[in-house]
Structures are given as structure tokens and as C-alpha cells.
């Protein structure tokens, strides 16, 4: 069987090191050269001929992160790697998955096309913004579920009157999987946006009186939706409100918004690097490194990854 070699782009090296350690192999060496005008030239400093190469890089802005990943894929294929699996803990541009108004790009589909065109043989990611994005790829895609990270932590809290809440209608399916596991009820915060990153109005569908509420989302950006939903839940009689979100984009005034909110805590993962973790006492980080390391091992051994899903 071909050997496994794990590499990382520059922006996700903090996580790739943990994944490689959990897997039991050292992280491979990549050198990123830049011309004076900013043009990138990444290359491998060790042979990958005949190897199963796993390239780890989240594709969050700036666009250099995505371009570096494309160049690494191309370099691996040209260096005669046997199989190239692209590990994208956070798949950027996934929020642009449809034409919600005239004359806009479907960026998620374009990103999928570019990864395939660069030579990726397989994609591994976690908690896509919308499940249907899997259909944008014409190569195998392994869609890992952050549920297996959060559920053990939520269980450890031993909340007596737990109920789960979706901060918007789009997250109902995700929230229902948590509620089903805990045999609990769920409610929905129905929001209306007039423009991106700004919630115009919100109302609650369901009853949270005297309950310990856990909100579930795939990502948190400015924190506006989560914080407004938490305030609404508190106003409706919730005993406590906390939130779990896989991808901590945390842009704009997110840290300030969370710190000043009624949230007990915000539980996130390390699919994205935190810029100012120390400035927000309410943020708790759980790692996805073991989950990805197990998935890499199973893919290399040609085994099913269904055992990594907690509901299975």
C-alpha cells in the first residue's frame, strides 16, 4: 500500500500539525516562495512520488489561501503523487451556493470546479453551509459532521431542561439531528435579512420557558444573528442560552458582540484560526484534529467513514 504524506498550506498549519500528530506522522515540508509583486510559488521539499498525499488548507479569505491550495494540488500531481486528497476543514465561499438575486456568481460551484481542474482526486471537508454543495463536485467528497465533536461536550454539561434552537430556518435539519440524539424538543428563530450580515427582524417559533437552550449553527460570522437570537430566547423565558458553531469566521465586531451578549458560552472548533481568542471569555474551542486524522486513516485503508458519525 502506498505511503501517506500530509502537507499543509500556510494558513492552516496550526491545525495540520495537530492532525498529523493525531495520525502519527510528521507534517511534510512545504516551502512558499513569493516574488516581489506577491506572486506565489509553493513547492514540496520532499518526494511525493507514488504517495497518497493529503493537502490541508481551509479556503477562507484572502483569496491567496485558495490559490496556494490550487498550486499545491498541481505541484503534487506533477510530482507523480499517486492520489491527492484535499482536506478543507472550512470550505470558503459556500454561502454563495445559488442565485438568490439576478446576475450573481454561484461561487461554491466555481470553487468546486477549480479544485477538480487543479487535479484533486478527492475532497474532505466538514459541515458545509448547505448539503447540496456536495453535488457541485464530480469527484468523491467526504463530508464530516461536527456533531461528533459537540455532542460529548454538551452531554458533559448535564443540562436538566435542554432544548435546541436553530438561529434561522436554514439550520433546522442540523439542529434536529442534535435534538433527535438527546430526545429533546427544538425551536426555530425565524429571521429576515434586508442585506448580508444584517438581521432586520426575528421571531421565535416554539416555547423555551424555563429551558436550557443550545443554539446550533454551522458558522458564526459577525455574531449578529446568534446574539440577537440569544436575546430573543432570553426574553421568551429561557433559563440559559449557549451556542455551538463549527466554523468561527468571527469578522467585524464579532468578539465584542459575543462578549456583550446574553450567551453563557460560544463553543466552536479550530477549523479556522482565532485572531483574538483572549479578548472573549465566552469562547471555548474544541479541536477537529482527531476527527480528521481518523478520516484520513480510514480513507487510506479504503474503509467506511460512517463510524465517525455519532448518529450511526
- Whether residues 206 and 185 fall in one domain: yes
User: Which residues constitute the domain of residue 217?
Assistant: 147-286
Q: What is the mean pLDDT of residues 234-255?
A: 95
Q: What is the mean pLDDT of residues 92-106?
A: 93
- How much is the pTM? 0.92
Q: What is the mean pLDDT of the chain?
A: 93
High-pLDDT (> 70) share of the chain, %: 95
Q: What is the pLDDT of residue 277?
A: 54
DSSP string, 27-85: PPPEEEEE-TT--EEEEESS--TT-EEEEE---PSSTHHHHHHHHHHHHHHHTT-SEEE
All three cell numbers of 224, joined, read 449578529
Known catalytic residues are: 191
* Helical packing angle, 107-118 and 64-78, nearest 10°: 30
Task: Render pLDDT for 249-294 as a digit per residue (tens, 0 to 9).
Answer: 999 899 999 999 999 999 999 999 987 555 788 999 999 999 999 9
* Helical packing angle, 289-300 and 13-23, nearest 10°: 60
Q: Beta strand pairing status for 266-269 and 198-205? A: unpaired
Is pLDDT at 91 greater than 90 in this prediction?
A: yes
- Whether residues 127 and 160 fall in one domain: no
Q: Is 223 annotated as a binding residue?
A: yes
139 versus 200: the higher-pLDDT residue is: 139
- Whether residues 117 and 211 fall in one domain: no
Give the chain's domain count: 2
Q: What is the mean pLDDT of residues 121-147?
A: 95
Q: Is 147 annotated as a binding residue?
A: no
The CA–CA distances, whole Å, from 236 to 150, 241, 302 equal 25, 11, 50
Q: What is the pLDDT of residue 198?
A: 58
Q: What is the pLDDT of residue 276?
A: 58
Burial call 223-259: b when 16+ CB within 10 Å, e when fewer: bbbbbbbbebbbebebbbbbbbbbbbbbeeebbebbb
- Whether residues 181 and 48 fall in one domain: no
- For the purposes of burial, counting CB atoms within 10 Å of the CB of 56, is it exposed (0-12), middle (13-18) or buried (19 or more)? buried
- The strands making up 212-220's β-sheet, listed across from edge to edge, are 198-205, 186-195, 162-166, 212-220, 240-248, 266-269, 283-286
Is pLDDT at 312 greater than 50 in this prediction?
A: no
Helix or strand (DSSP H, E) at 247: strand 240-248
Q: Is 210 annotated as a binding residue?
A: no
- Whether residues 260 and 227 fall in one domain: yes
Strand partners, 247: 219
- Whether residues 52 and 175 fall in one domain: no
Q: What is the pLDDT of residue 199?
A: 52
Q: Is 64 annotated as a binding residue?
A: no
- Whether residues 154 and 281 fall in one domain: yes
Residue 263 is part of a domain; what is its CATH number? 3.40.50.2020
Task: Render pLDDT for 53-67 as a digit per residue (tens, 0 to 9).
Answer: 999 999 999 999 999
Amino acid at each position: 500500500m502506498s505511503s501517506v504524506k500530509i502537507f499543509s498550506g500556510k494558513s492552516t498549519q496550526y491545525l495540520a500539525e495537530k492532525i498529523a500528530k493525531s495520525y502519527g506522522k510528521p507534517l511534510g515540508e512545504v516551502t512558499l516562495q513569493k516574488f516581489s509583486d506577491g506572486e506565489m510559488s509553493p513547492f514540496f521539499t520532499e518526494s511525493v512520488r507514488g504517495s497518497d498525499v493529503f493537502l490541508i488548507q481551509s479556503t477562507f479569505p484572502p483569496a491567496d489561501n485558495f490559490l496556494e491550495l490550487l498550486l499545491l494540488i498541481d505541484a503534487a500531481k506533477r510530482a507523480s503523487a499517486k492520489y491527492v486528497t484535499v482536506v478543507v476543514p472550512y470550505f470558503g465561499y459556500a454561502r454563495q451556493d445559488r442565485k438568490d438575486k439576478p446576475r450573481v456568481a454561484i461561487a461554491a460551484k466555481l470553487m468546486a470546479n477549480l479544485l477538480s481542474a487543479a487535479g484533486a482526486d478527492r475532497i474532505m471537508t466538514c459541515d458545509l453551509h448547505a448539503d447540496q454543495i456536495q453535488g457541485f463536485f464530480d469527484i468523491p467528497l467526504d463530508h464530516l459532521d461536527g456533531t461528533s465533536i459537540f455532542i460529548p461536550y454538551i452531554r458533559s454539561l448535564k443540562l436538566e431542561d435542554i432544548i435546541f434552537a436553530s438561529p434561522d430556518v436554514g439550520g433546522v435539519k442540523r439542529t434536529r439531528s442534535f435534538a433527535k440524539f438527546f430526545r429533546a424538543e427544538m425551536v426555530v428563530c425565524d429571521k429576515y435579512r434586508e442585506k448580508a450580515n444584517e438581521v432586520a427582524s426575528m421571531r421565535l417559533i416554539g416555547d423555551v420557558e424555563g429551558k436550557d437552550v443550545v443554539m446550533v449553527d454551522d458558522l458564526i460570522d459577525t455574531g449578529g444573528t446568534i446574539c440577537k437570537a440569544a436575546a430573543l430566547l432570553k426574553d421568551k423565558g429561557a433559563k440559559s442560552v449557549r451556542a455551538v458553531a463549527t466554523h468561527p469566521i468571527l469578522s467585524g465586531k464579532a468578539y465584542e458582540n459575543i462578549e456583550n451578549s446574553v450567551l453563557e458560552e460560544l463553543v466552536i472548533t479550530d477549523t479556522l484560526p482565532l485572531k483574538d481568542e483572549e479578548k472573549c471569555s465566552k469562547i471555548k474551542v474544541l479541536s477537529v484534529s482527531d476527527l480528521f486524522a481518523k478520516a484520513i486513516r480510514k480513507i487510506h485503508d479504503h474503509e467506511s467513514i460512517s463510524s465517525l458519525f455519532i448518529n450511526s
